Structure 1
Amino acid sequence: MTDLLFDQPQPLTLPVSGESAEYPVRRIFCVGRNYAAHAAEMGFEVDREAPFYFTKSAANAVLTGASQPYPPGTANYHHEMELVVAIGAPVFQATKEQALAAIYAYGCGLDMTRRDLQIASRKIQRPWDLGKDVEQGAVLAPLTKAAGFGEIGPQRIYLEVNGEIRQDATLSELIWKLDEIVMDLSKFYHLEPGDLIMTGTPAGVGPVVAGDVITGGIDGLEPIRLSITAAE
Protein backbone atom coordinates (compact mmCIF):
# COMPACT_ATOMS: atom_id res chain seq x y z
CA MET A 1 0.00 0.00 0.00
CA THR A 2 1.28 3.47 -0.89
CA ASP A 3 2.07 5.75 2.03
CA LEU A 4 0.29 9.11 1.87
CA LEU A 5 1.62 12.42 3.12
CA PHE A 6 -1.72 13.17 4.78
CA ASP A 7 -5.06 11.50 5.33
CA GLN A 8 -7.92 12.05 2.88
CA PRO A 9 -11.56 12.04 4.05
CA GLN A 10 -13.75 9.16 2.99
CA PRO A 11 -16.38 9.96 0.33
CA LEU A 12 -19.83 10.98 1.46
CA THR A 13 -22.22 8.04 1.48
CA LEU A 14 -26.00 8.27 1.21
CA PRO A 15 -28.45 5.93 2.93
CA VAL A 16 -30.70 4.02 0.52
CA SER A 17 -34.22 3.08 1.56
CA GLY A 18 -34.44 -0.67 2.11
CA GLU A 19 -30.66 -1.25 1.96
CA SER A 20 -28.12 -1.71 4.74
CA ALA A 21 -25.27 -0.64 2.44
CA GLU A 22 -24.92 3.03 1.49
CA TYR A 23 -24.30 4.76 -1.84
CA PRO A 24 -20.85 6.42 -2.13
CA VAL A 25 -20.83 9.76 -3.95
CA ARG A 26 -18.26 9.86 -6.78
CA ARG A 27 -19.10 12.90 -8.95
CA ILE A 28 -21.87 15.52 -9.06
CA PHE A 29 -23.17 16.87 -12.35
CA CYS A 30 -25.78 19.63 -12.46
CA VAL A 31 -28.22 20.64 -15.19
CA GLY A 32 -28.74 24.37 -15.70
CA ARG A 33 -32.09 26.09 -16.38
CA ASN A 34 -34.21 22.97 -16.62
CA TYR A 35 -37.53 24.58 -15.62
CA ALA A 36 -39.02 27.24 -17.91
CA ALA A 37 -40.24 29.49 -15.09
CA HIS A 38 -36.81 29.44 -13.43
CA ALA A 39 -35.09 30.26 -16.73
CA ALA A 40 -37.48 33.22 -17.07
CA GLU A 41 -36.81 34.51 -13.56
CA MET A 42 -33.09 34.40 -14.35
CA GLY A 43 -33.70 36.41 -17.53
CA PHE A 44 -33.42 33.61 -20.11
CA GLU A 45 -35.70 31.85 -22.56
CA VAL A 46 -35.99 28.07 -22.65
CA ASP A 47 -33.27 26.50 -24.80
CA ARG A 48 -34.30 23.15 -26.32
CA GLU A 49 -31.13 22.74 -28.39
CA ALA A 50 -29.32 20.73 -25.71
CA PRO A 51 -28.98 20.58 -21.91
CA PHE A 52 -25.98 22.31 -20.38
CA TYR A 53 -24.06 21.35 -17.27
CA PHE A 54 -21.82 22.48 -14.47
CA THR A 55 -20.26 20.42 -11.69
CA LYS A 56 -20.00 20.49 -7.92
CA SER A 57 -17.18 18.75 -6.06
CA ALA A 58 -18.12 15.60 -4.19
CA ALA A 59 -15.88 16.92 -1.38
CA ASN A 60 -18.34 19.82 -0.96
CA ALA A 61 -21.37 17.55 -0.48
CA VAL A 62 -23.06 17.06 2.91
CA LEU A 63 -25.95 14.99 4.19
CA THR A 64 -29.31 16.53 5.01
CA GLY A 65 -29.58 17.90 8.54
CA ALA A 66 -26.29 19.76 8.30
CA SER A 67 -25.62 23.23 9.66
CA GLN A 68 -23.72 25.34 7.15
CA PRO A 69 -21.95 28.62 8.01
CA TYR A 70 -22.92 31.46 5.70
CA PRO A 71 -20.18 31.19 3.05
CA PRO A 72 -17.46 33.77 2.47
CA GLY A 73 -17.34 36.06 -0.54
CA THR A 74 -21.07 36.52 -1.06
CA ALA A 75 -23.90 38.78 0.03
CA ASN A 76 -26.56 36.91 -1.97
CA TYR A 77 -26.63 33.21 -1.09
CA HIS A 78 -29.49 31.33 -2.77
CA HIS A 79 -31.36 28.07 -2.29
CA GLU A 80 -32.19 25.79 -5.24
CA MET A 81 -34.31 22.67 -4.63
CA GLU A 82 -33.65 19.78 -7.03
CA LEU A 83 -34.42 16.18 -7.93
CA VAL A 84 -31.21 14.13 -7.79
CA VAL A 85 -30.62 11.11 -10.03
CA ALA A 86 -28.20 8.43 -8.78
CA ILE A 87 -26.47 6.34 -11.45
CA GLY A 88 -26.20 2.64 -10.64
CA ALA A 89 -24.60 1.07 -13.71
CA PRO A 90 -21.85 2.05 -16.16
CA VAL A 91 -23.25 3.85 -19.19
CA PHE A 92 -21.64 5.58 -22.17
CA GLN A 93 -23.32 6.94 -25.30
CA ALA A 94 -26.57 5.54 -23.96
CA THR A 95 -29.76 4.73 -25.81
CA LYS A 96 -33.02 5.71 -24.11
CA GLU A 97 -33.44 2.20 -22.73
CA GLN A 98 -29.85 2.10 -21.42
CA ALA A 99 -30.25 5.55 -19.85
CA LEU A 100 -33.37 4.54 -17.95
CA ALA A 101 -31.80 1.24 -16.86
CA ALA A 102 -28.75 3.08 -15.49
CA ILE A 103 -30.86 5.15 -13.07
CA TYR A 104 -30.59 3.43 -9.69
CA ALA A 105 -32.31 5.84 -7.34
CA TYR A 106 -33.68 9.34 -6.74
CA GLY A 107 -33.23 11.83 -3.92
CA CYS A 108 -33.75 15.41 -2.87
CA GLY A 109 -30.90 17.88 -3.19
CA LEU A 110 -30.05 21.52 -2.55
CA ASP A 111 -27.80 23.33 -5.01
CA MET A 112 -26.72 26.24 -2.81
CA THR A 113 -25.41 29.14 -4.90
CA ARG A 114 -23.42 32.33 -4.39
CA ARG A 115 -25.72 34.11 -6.84
CA ASP A 116 -23.81 37.38 -6.95
CA LEU A 117 -20.60 35.57 -7.89
CA GLN A 118 -22.39 33.38 -10.44
CA ILE A 119 -23.93 36.42 -12.16
CA ALA A 120 -20.66 38.34 -12.11
CA SER A 121 -18.85 35.42 -13.75
CA ARG A 122 -21.61 34.95 -16.30
CA LYS A 123 -21.46 38.60 -17.38
CA ILE A 124 -17.79 38.31 -18.31
CA GLN A 125 -18.16 34.77 -19.73
CA ARG A 126 -16.12 33.06 -17.05
CA PRO A 127 -16.82 29.72 -15.35
CA TRP A 128 -19.37 29.52 -12.53
CA ASP A 129 -17.15 27.62 -10.08
CA LEU A 130 -16.98 30.31 -7.38
CA GLY A 131 -20.74 30.75 -7.51
CA LYS A 132 -21.72 27.10 -7.62
CA ASP A 133 -19.03 24.90 -6.09
CA VAL A 134 -19.43 26.13 -2.52
CA GLU A 135 -18.08 24.29 0.54
CA GLN A 136 -21.05 22.28 1.94
CA GLY A 137 -23.07 23.67 -0.98
CA ALA A 138 -24.41 20.34 -2.30
CA VAL A 139 -26.86 19.06 0.31
CA LEU A 140 -28.18 15.53 -0.28
CA ALA A 141 -30.96 13.47 1.26
CA PRO A 142 -31.18 9.66 1.51
CA LEU A 143 -32.04 7.87 -1.73
CA THR A 144 -35.13 5.97 -2.83
CA LYS A 145 -34.73 3.25 -5.46
CA ALA A 146 -36.12 4.17 -8.86
CA ALA A 147 -37.98 0.87 -9.12
CA GLY A 148 -40.13 1.81 -6.13
CA PHE A 149 -40.73 5.44 -7.05
CA GLY A 150 -42.88 5.21 -10.15
CA GLU A 151 -43.08 7.34 -13.25
CA ILE A 152 -41.66 10.86 -13.02
CA GLY A 153 -44.19 13.63 -13.56
CA PRO A 154 -46.96 14.51 -11.11
CA GLN A 155 -44.77 14.59 -7.99
CA ARG A 156 -44.64 17.91 -6.18
CA ILE A 157 -41.22 19.53 -5.60
CA TYR A 158 -41.14 22.30 -3.02
CA LEU A 159 -38.93 24.29 -0.67
CA GLU A 160 -39.63 26.36 2.45
CA VAL A 161 -37.49 28.85 4.35
CA ASN A 162 -38.51 29.13 8.02
CA GLY A 163 -41.82 27.48 7.13
CA GLU A 164 -42.62 29.88 4.27
CA ILE A 165 -43.06 28.38 0.79
CA ARG A 166 -40.50 29.68 -1.69
CA GLN A 167 -40.50 27.03 -4.45
CA ASP A 168 -43.52 24.95 -5.49
CA ALA A 169 -43.80 23.01 -8.76
CA THR A 170 -44.11 19.48 -10.15
CA LEU A 171 -41.54 17.26 -11.82
CA SER A 172 -43.66 17.33 -14.99
CA GLU A 173 -42.25 20.83 -15.53
CA LEU A 174 -38.75 19.52 -16.20
CA ILE A 175 -37.71 20.68 -19.68
CA TRP A 176 -35.18 17.88 -20.22
CA LYS A 177 -36.51 14.55 -19.00
CA LEU A 178 -34.30 12.15 -17.09
CA ASP A 179 -33.62 9.75 -19.95
CA GLU A 180 -32.70 12.70 -22.20
CA ILE A 181 -30.29 14.05 -19.60
CA VAL A 182 -28.53 10.72 -19.10
CA MET A 183 -28.38 10.11 -22.84
CA ASP A 184 -26.85 13.52 -23.49
CA LEU A 185 -24.42 13.56 -20.56
CA SER A 186 -23.19 10.07 -21.45
CA LYS A 187 -21.98 11.42 -24.81
CA PHE A 188 -19.28 13.29 -22.91
CA TYR A 189 -18.58 11.15 -19.81
CA HIS A 190 -18.36 7.48 -18.97
CA LEU A 191 -21.00 7.60 -16.24
CA GLU A 192 -20.42 5.17 -13.38
CA PRO A 193 -22.11 4.08 -10.16
CA GLY A 194 -21.61 6.86 -7.63
CA ASP A 195 -22.31 9.63 -10.14
CA LEU A 196 -25.14 11.98 -9.22
CA ILE A 197 -27.07 14.32 -11.51
CA MET A 198 -28.86 17.31 -10.00
CA THR A 199 -31.59 17.94 -12.56
CA GLY A 200 -32.36 21.65 -12.14
CA THR A 201 -34.50 23.86 -9.93
CA PRO A 202 -38.01 25.32 -10.32
CA ALA A 203 -38.85 29.01 -10.05
CA GLY A 204 -38.76 30.76 -6.69
CA VAL A 205 -35.05 30.70 -5.91
CA GLY A 206 -33.99 33.36 -3.44
CA PRO A 207 -31.59 34.46 -0.72
CA VAL A 208 -31.07 33.04 2.73
CA VAL A 209 -29.31 34.56 5.74
CA ALA A 210 -27.77 33.29 8.96
CA GLY A 211 -30.46 31.84 11.21
CA ASP A 212 -32.61 30.54 8.34
CA VAL A 213 -33.76 26.92 8.21
CA ILE A 214 -34.33 25.48 4.74
CA THR A 215 -36.62 22.47 4.33
CA GLY A 216 -37.87 20.85 1.17
CA GLY A 217 -39.17 17.72 -0.41
CA ILE A 218 -40.42 15.79 -3.39
CA ASP A 219 -43.47 13.55 -3.11
CA GLY A 220 -42.33 9.99 -2.40
CA LEU A 221 -38.75 10.87 -1.42
CA GLU A 222 -36.98 11.55 1.87
CA PRO A 223 -37.14 15.30 2.72
CA ILE A 224 -34.17 17.62 3.08
CA ARG A 225 -33.10 20.18 5.70
CA LEU A 226 -30.28 22.69 6.03
CA SER A 227 -29.62 25.28 8.75
CA ILE A 228 -27.63 28.42 7.89
CA THR A 229 -25.46 29.62 10.77
CA ALA A 230 -23.34 32.72 11.24
CA ALA A 231 -20.32 33.18 9.00
CA GLU A 232 -17.07 31.83 10.41
Structure 2
Amino acid sequence: MAIQVVHFLHQDSPAWGVVHGRRVAPLSRRYDGTAGFVGEGLEEAWASTPAQASLELDTLHLLSPVSADRQFLCQGINYASHVRESGMDPDKIGFNTLFTKASSSLAPARADIVRPSHVRLLDYEVELGLVMRRPVTGPVEVTPDRLHEWLAGVTIVNDISARDVQLPQTQFYKGKSYRGFGPTGPFLLLLTPDEWRRWPELRMRLLVNGQLRQDAYCGDMIFKPHQTLTELSALHDLQAGDLIATGTPAGCAARAPGKLAMWMMRHVLSDATKWRLFIQKGLSNPAYLQPGDVITAAIRSDDGALDLGEQRNRVVAP
Protein backbone atom coordinates (compact mmCIF):
# COMPACT_ATOMS: atom_id res chain seq x y z
CA MET A 1 0.00 0.00 0.00
CA ALA A 2 1.27 3.49 -0.88
CA ILE A 3 2.71 5.58 1.92
CA GLN A 4 2.85 9.35 2.34
CA VAL A 5 6.23 10.78 3.32
CA VAL A 6 6.76 14.31 4.60
CA HIS A 7 9.86 16.49 4.91
CA PHE A 8 9.52 18.88 7.84
CA LEU A 9 11.29 20.99 10.42
CA HIS A 10 11.73 19.23 13.74
CA GLN A 11 13.62 20.93 16.57
CA ASP A 12 14.94 23.45 13.99
CA SER A 13 16.41 20.72 11.75
CA PRO A 14 15.03 19.06 8.61
CA ALA A 15 13.55 15.63 9.26
CA TRP A 16 11.57 12.96 7.41
CA GLY A 17 8.50 11.07 8.51
CA VAL A 18 5.65 8.83 7.40
CA VAL A 19 2.03 9.98 7.65
CA HIS A 20 -0.45 7.73 9.45
CA GLY A 21 -3.86 9.38 9.40
CA ARG A 22 -3.28 12.87 10.81
CA ARG A 23 -0.14 11.87 12.71
CA VAL A 24 3.47 11.44 11.63
CA ALA A 25 6.04 8.83 12.57
CA PRO A 26 9.46 10.55 12.40
CA LEU A 27 12.22 8.47 10.87
CA SER A 28 15.14 7.72 13.17
CA ARG A 29 17.84 9.14 10.91
CA ARG A 30 18.30 12.68 9.60
CA TYR A 31 18.71 11.92 5.92
CA ASP A 32 20.53 14.57 3.93
CA GLY A 33 17.94 16.08 1.59
CA THR A 34 15.86 14.14 -0.91
CA ALA A 35 18.87 12.31 -2.32
CA GLY A 36 19.79 11.04 1.14
CA PHE A 37 16.26 9.93 1.93
CA VAL A 38 15.73 8.21 -1.43
CA GLY A 39 19.16 6.61 -1.32
CA GLU A 40 19.12 5.41 2.28
CA GLY A 41 15.72 5.89 3.89
CA LEU A 42 13.15 4.09 1.76
CA GLU A 43 13.40 0.82 3.69
CA GLU A 44 12.86 2.58 7.02
CA ALA A 45 9.91 4.49 5.60
CA TRP A 46 8.21 1.33 4.31
CA ALA A 47 8.69 -0.28 7.75
CA SER A 48 7.01 2.61 9.61
CA THR A 49 3.95 1.77 11.75
CA PRO A 50 1.10 3.85 13.24
CA ALA A 51 2.40 3.03 16.72
CA GLN A 52 5.47 5.16 15.94
CA ALA A 53 3.40 8.22 14.97
CA SER A 54 4.22 10.67 17.76
CA LEU A 55 3.69 14.01 15.99
CA GLU A 56 0.55 15.85 14.88
CA LEU A 57 0.68 16.46 11.13
CA ASP A 58 -1.25 19.74 11.36
CA THR A 59 1.31 21.26 13.76
CA LEU A 60 4.37 20.57 11.60
CA HIS A 61 6.18 23.10 9.42
CA LEU A 62 6.34 21.15 6.17
CA LEU A 63 9.16 21.61 3.69
CA SER A 64 9.24 20.70 0.01
CA PRO A 65 9.77 16.94 -0.30
CA VAL A 66 12.26 17.77 -3.06
CA SER A 67 15.25 19.64 -1.64
CA ALA A 68 16.83 22.55 -3.50
CA ASP A 69 20.01 20.62 -4.26
CA ARG A 70 18.11 18.46 -6.78
CA GLN A 71 17.52 19.07 -10.49
CA PHE A 72 14.09 20.42 -11.51
CA LEU A 73 13.23 19.20 -15.02
CA CYS A 74 9.96 19.85 -16.85
CA GLN A 75 7.82 18.81 -19.78
CA GLY A 76 5.80 21.34 -21.76
CA ILE A 77 2.63 20.99 -23.86
CA ASN A 78 2.25 17.38 -22.70
CA TYR A 79 -1.55 17.22 -22.37
CA ALA A 80 -3.79 17.26 -25.42
CA SER A 81 -6.27 19.59 -23.73
CA HIS A 82 -3.55 22.13 -22.94
CA VAL A 83 -2.15 21.85 -26.46
CA ARG A 84 -5.59 22.73 -27.87
CA GLU A 85 -6.07 25.71 -25.56
CA SER A 86 -2.63 26.92 -26.67
CA GLY A 87 -3.88 27.04 -30.27
CA MET A 88 -2.15 23.89 -31.53
CA ASP A 89 -3.19 20.45 -32.80
CA PRO A 90 -2.29 17.57 -30.44
CA ASP A 91 -1.93 15.23 -33.41
CA LYS A 92 0.88 17.42 -34.71
CA ILE A 93 2.95 17.36 -31.53
CA GLY A 94 5.77 15.20 -32.82
CA PHE A 95 8.31 15.68 -30.06
CA ASN A 96 8.60 15.87 -26.28
CA THR A 97 9.22 19.44 -25.08
CA LEU A 98 11.80 19.39 -22.28
CA PHE A 99 13.22 22.28 -20.26
CA THR A 100 14.65 23.07 -16.84
CA LYS A 101 13.40 25.20 -14.00
CA ALA A 102 15.63 26.63 -11.28
CA SER A 103 15.70 24.41 -8.21
CA SER A 104 15.74 27.61 -6.15
CA SER A 105 12.09 28.04 -7.20
CA LEU A 106 11.08 24.99 -5.12
CA ALA A 107 8.82 25.92 -2.21
CA PRO A 108 6.68 24.19 0.43
CA ALA A 109 3.10 23.24 -0.34
CA ARG A 110 1.73 26.04 1.87
CA ALA A 111 4.21 28.80 1.12
CA ASP A 112 3.16 32.22 -0.14
CA ILE A 113 3.84 32.91 -3.81
CA VAL A 114 5.38 36.35 -4.30
CA ARG A 115 4.36 37.96 -7.58
CA PRO A 116 7.37 40.05 -8.71
CA SER A 117 6.53 43.73 -9.10
CA HIS A 118 7.17 43.68 -12.87
CA VAL A 119 5.01 40.59 -13.49
CA ARG A 120 1.38 41.20 -14.43
CA LEU A 121 0.33 37.92 -16.06
CA LEU A 122 0.93 35.31 -13.36
CA ASP A 123 -0.37 31.83 -14.16
CA TYR A 124 -0.70 28.42 -12.49
CA GLU A 125 -0.10 24.85 -13.74
CA VAL A 126 -0.88 21.80 -11.61
CA GLU A 127 1.42 18.92 -12.55
CA LEU A 128 2.37 15.41 -11.48
CA GLY A 129 5.98 15.35 -10.29
CA LEU A 130 8.13 12.23 -10.66
CA VAL A 131 10.99 11.80 -8.17
CA MET A 132 13.97 9.72 -9.24
CA ARG A 133 14.97 6.66 -7.22
CA ARG A 134 18.40 5.99 -8.73
CA PRO A 135 21.00 7.68 -10.91
CA VAL A 136 20.84 7.51 -14.69
CA THR A 137 24.20 8.18 -16.34
CA GLY A 138 23.63 6.74 -19.79
CA PRO A 139 20.94 5.61 -22.21
CA VAL A 140 18.39 3.15 -20.79
CA GLU A 141 15.14 1.71 -22.10
CA VAL A 142 12.45 2.19 -19.47
CA THR A 143 9.27 0.14 -19.95
CA PRO A 144 5.85 0.89 -18.40
CA ASP A 145 6.07 -2.10 -16.05
CA ARG A 146 9.48 -1.08 -14.65
CA LEU A 147 8.79 2.46 -13.45
CA HIS A 148 9.26 1.33 -9.84
CA GLU A 149 12.89 0.50 -10.59
CA TRP A 150 13.67 4.08 -11.64
CA LEU A 151 11.22 6.23 -9.67
CA ALA A 152 10.86 6.56 -5.90
CA GLY A 153 7.52 8.32 -5.82
CA VAL A 154 5.24 11.08 -7.03
CA THR A 155 4.37 14.54 -5.71
CA ILE A 156 2.31 17.62 -6.63
CA VAL A 157 4.01 20.46 -8.48
CA ASN A 158 2.51 23.86 -9.31
CA ASP A 159 4.55 25.29 -12.18
CA ILE A 160 3.88 28.98 -11.52
CA SER A 161 4.64 31.00 -14.67
CA ALA A 162 5.09 34.67 -15.51
CA ARG A 163 3.52 34.61 -18.98
CA ASP A 164 4.54 38.20 -19.78
CA VAL A 165 8.17 37.08 -19.35
CA GLN A 166 8.00 33.50 -20.63
CA LEU A 167 6.18 34.13 -23.92
CA PRO A 168 7.31 37.55 -25.23
CA GLN A 169 10.93 36.76 -24.35
CA THR A 170 10.59 33.07 -25.40
CA GLN A 171 12.36 32.09 -22.18
CA PHE A 172 10.68 29.25 -20.31
CA TYR A 173 13.48 29.09 -17.73
CA LYS A 174 13.35 32.80 -16.93
CA GLY A 175 9.56 33.06 -16.83
CA LYS A 176 9.17 30.02 -14.57
CA SER A 177 12.17 30.21 -12.23
CA TYR A 178 11.50 33.09 -9.85
CA ARG A 179 11.91 32.10 -6.22
CA GLY A 180 8.78 30.43 -4.91
CA PHE A 181 7.44 29.57 -8.40
CA GLY A 182 7.57 25.82 -7.70
CA PRO A 183 5.35 24.80 -4.76
CA THR A 184 5.92 21.07 -4.28
CA GLY A 185 4.31 18.48 -2.00
CA PRO A 186 3.00 18.24 0.65
CA PHE A 187 3.65 14.51 0.32
CA LEU A 188 6.13 12.35 -1.52
CA LEU A 189 3.90 9.35 -2.22
CA LEU A 190 5.83 6.08 -2.37
CA LEU A 191 4.17 3.44 -4.55
CA THR A 192 4.40 -0.34 -4.76
CA PRO A 193 5.22 -1.86 -8.17
CA ASP A 194 1.52 -2.66 -8.74
CA GLU A 195 0.48 0.87 -7.75
CA TRP A 196 2.88 2.41 -10.27
CA ARG A 197 0.63 0.92 -12.96
CA ARG A 198 -2.17 3.16 -11.66
CA TRP A 199 -0.51 6.52 -12.35
CA PRO A 200 -2.91 7.24 -15.27
CA GLU A 201 -5.81 7.13 -12.77
CA LEU A 202 -4.44 10.04 -10.74
CA ARG A 203 -6.74 13.03 -11.01
CA MET A 204 -5.35 16.56 -10.86
CA ARG A 205 -7.57 19.41 -9.66
CA LEU A 206 -6.65 23.08 -9.14
CA LEU A 207 -8.90 25.82 -7.77
CA VAL A 208 -8.40 29.56 -7.40
CA ASN A 209 -10.45 31.17 -4.62
CA GLY A 210 -12.61 28.05 -4.59
CA GLN A 211 -13.32 28.15 -8.34
CA LEU A 212 -12.33 25.01 -10.23
CA ARG A 213 -9.84 25.85 -12.99
CA GLN A 214 -8.13 22.55 -13.87
CA ASP A 215 -9.52 19.01 -13.65
CA ALA A 216 -7.96 16.10 -15.59
CA TYR A 217 -6.51 12.62 -15.31
CA CYS A 218 -2.78 12.03 -15.66
CA GLY A 219 -3.51 9.36 -18.24
CA ASP A 220 -4.13 12.18 -20.74
CA MET A 221 -0.36 12.78 -21.02
CA ILE A 222 0.94 12.70 -24.58
CA PHE A 223 4.43 11.48 -23.63
CA LYS A 224 4.19 9.00 -20.77
CA PRO A 225 6.69 8.72 -17.89
CA HIS A 226 8.51 5.69 -19.30
CA GLN A 227 8.95 7.46 -22.65
CA THR A 228 10.26 10.62 -21.01
CA LEU A 229 12.72 8.73 -18.80
CA THR A 230 14.00 6.82 -21.81
CA GLU A 231 14.47 10.01 -23.83
CA LEU A 232 16.06 11.96 -20.98
CA SER A 233 18.54 9.16 -20.31
CA ALA A 234 20.05 9.68 -23.75
CA LEU A 235 20.47 13.41 -23.12
CA HIS A 236 21.03 14.19 -19.51
CA ASP A 237 22.37 12.62 -16.32
CA LEU A 238 19.78 12.17 -13.57
CA GLN A 239 20.40 11.59 -9.88
CA ALA A 240 18.38 10.16 -7.02
CA GLY A 241 15.85 12.71 -5.79
CA ASP A 242 15.71 14.73 -9.00
CA LEU A 243 12.25 16.03 -9.96
CA ILE A 244 10.50 15.80 -13.32
CA ALA A 245 7.29 17.83 -13.69
CA THR A 246 5.23 16.15 -16.41
CA GLY A 247 3.09 18.95 -17.84
CA THR A 248 -0.31 20.48 -17.17
CA PRO A 249 -3.83 20.02 -18.59
CA ALA A 250 -6.26 22.65 -19.87
CA GLY A 251 -7.55 25.42 -17.66
CA CYS A 252 -4.60 27.80 -17.35
CA ALA A 253 -5.25 31.54 -17.43
CA ALA A 254 -3.26 31.91 -20.66
CA ARG A 255 -5.37 31.34 -23.75
CA ALA A 256 -4.57 31.32 -27.45
CA PRO A 257 -6.32 34.01 -29.52
CA GLY A 258 -8.85 33.08 -32.22
CA LYS A 259 -7.84 31.77 -35.64
CA LEU A 260 -8.03 35.17 -37.35
CA ALA A 261 -5.97 36.81 -34.62
CA MET A 262 -3.43 33.98 -34.81
CA TRP A 263 -3.11 34.49 -38.58
CA MET A 264 -2.63 38.23 -38.12
CA MET A 265 0.00 37.68 -35.44
CA ARG A 266 1.95 35.27 -37.62
CA HIS A 267 1.77 37.06 -40.95
CA VAL A 268 1.03 40.77 -40.42
CA LEU A 269 2.10 42.07 -37.02
CA SER A 270 5.65 42.66 -35.89
CA ASP A 271 6.86 40.73 -32.86
CA ALA A 272 6.86 43.89 -30.73
CA THR A 273 3.26 44.71 -31.68
CA LYS A 274 2.13 41.11 -31.27
CA TRP A 275 3.40 40.82 -27.72
CA ARG A 276 2.23 44.30 -26.73
CA LEU A 277 -1.29 43.30 -27.78
CA PHE A 278 -0.93 39.95 -26.00
CA ILE A 279 -0.09 41.68 -22.73
CA GLN A 280 -2.85 44.27 -23.14
CA LYS A 281 -5.43 41.53 -23.68
CA GLY A 282 -4.05 39.53 -20.77
CA LEU A 283 -4.48 42.46 -18.39
CA SER A 284 -8.24 42.25 -18.91
CA ASN A 285 -8.31 38.50 -18.19
CA PRO A 286 -9.48 37.96 -14.57
CA ALA A 287 -8.12 34.40 -14.54
CA TYR A 288 -4.53 35.59 -14.05
CA LEU A 289 -3.41 35.50 -10.44
CA GLN A 290 -3.58 38.61 -8.28
CA PRO A 291 -2.25 39.31 -4.77
CA GLY A 292 -4.72 37.87 -2.28
CA ASP A 293 -5.73 34.94 -4.49
CA VAL A 294 -5.56 31.49 -2.89
CA ILE A 295 -4.63 28.46 -5.02
CA THR A 296 -5.48 24.94 -3.88
CA ALA A 297 -4.22 21.92 -5.80
CA ALA A 298 -4.68 18.21 -5.19
CA ILE A 299 -3.84 14.94 -6.93
CA ARG A 300 -5.44 11.64 -5.94
CA SER A 301 -7.12 8.58 -7.40
CA ASP A 302 -10.91 8.58 -7.36
CA ASP A 303 -10.98 5.73 -4.85
CA GLY A 304 -8.66 7.65 -2.49
CA ALA A 305 -6.09 4.85 -2.34
CA LEU A 306 -3.43 7.09 -3.91
CA ASP A 307 -3.46 10.54 -2.32
CA LEU A 308 -0.69 13.10 -2.79
CA GLY A 309 -2.28 15.59 -0.40
CA GLU A 310 -3.31 19.18 -1.05
CA GLN A 311 -1.41 22.39 -1.63
CA ARG A 312 -2.68 25.77 -0.48
CA ASN A 313 -0.74 28.86 -1.58
CA ARG A 314 -1.60 32.55 -1.29
CA VAL A 315 -0.37 35.03 -3.90
CA VAL A 316 1.21 38.09 -2.28
CA ALA A 317 2.79 41.33 -3.45
CA PRO A 318 6.55 41.83 -2.90
Name the TM-score, length of structure 2 as normaliser. Answer: 0.63
In angstroms, what is the RMSD of aligned CA positions? 2.1
5+ residue gaps, structure 1, are: 1-12
SS at structure 1 position matched to 2:199: coil
Report the CA distance shift for 1:71/1:159 in structure 2 as closer, same or farther (over 3 A): same
Asked if 2 retains the 8 angstrom alpha-carbon contact of 1:99 and 1:182, the reply is no
Report the CA distance shift for 1:73/1:129 in structure 2 as closer, same or farther (over 3 A): farther
Asked if 1 retains the 8 angstrom alpha-carbon contact of 2:293 and 2:314, the reply is yes
Identity %: 27
- The residue identity in structure 2 corresponding to 1:167 is Q
Q: How far, CA to CA, are the matches of 2:248 and 2:157 in structure 1? A: 10
1:31 corresponds, among 75, 79, 94, to 75
Matches within 5 A, 1:90-169: 90-91=135-136, 92-97=138-143, 100-122=148-170, 127-141=171-185, 142-147=187-192, 149-150=195-196, 151-169=198-216
Deviations 1:87-118 (A, max 9, x none): 01012312124655111110001000001211
Q: How far, CA to CA, are the matches of 1:14 and 1:64 in structure 2? A: 16
Q: How far, CA to CA, are the matches of 2:17 and 2:236 in structure 1? A: 25
SS at structure 2 position matched to 1:153: helix
Structure number with greater CO (CA < 8 Å, separation at least 6) is 1
- The residue identity in structure 2 corresponding to 1:154 is E
Query: Does residue 1:221 correspond to 2:308, yes or no?
Result: yes
- The residue identity in structure 1 corresponding to 2:161 is T
Report the CA distance shift for 1:139/1:80 in structure 2 as closer, same or farther (over 3 A): same
- From the CA coordinates, give the structure whose radius of gyration is larger: 2
Name the TM-score, length of structure 1 as normaliser. Answer: 0.85
Bigger CA drift: 15-24 or 29-38? 15-24
Q: How far, CA to CA, are the matches of 1:211 and 1:164 in structure 2? A: 14
Normalized per residue, which structure has more helix?
A: 2
Q: How far, CA to CA, are the matches of 1:90 and 1:222 in structure 2? A: 27
**How many residue pairs were aligned?**
215
Query: Does residue 1:50 correspond to 2:78, yes or no?
Result: no
- The residue identity in structure 2 corresponding to 1:87 is M
Q: How far, CA to CA, are the matches of 1:191 and 1:99 in structure 2? A: 15
Asked if 1 retains the 8 angstrom alpha-carbon contact of 2:148 and 2:192, the reply is no
Map of 1:185 onto structure 2: 232
Deviation at 1:128, TM superposition (A): 2.2
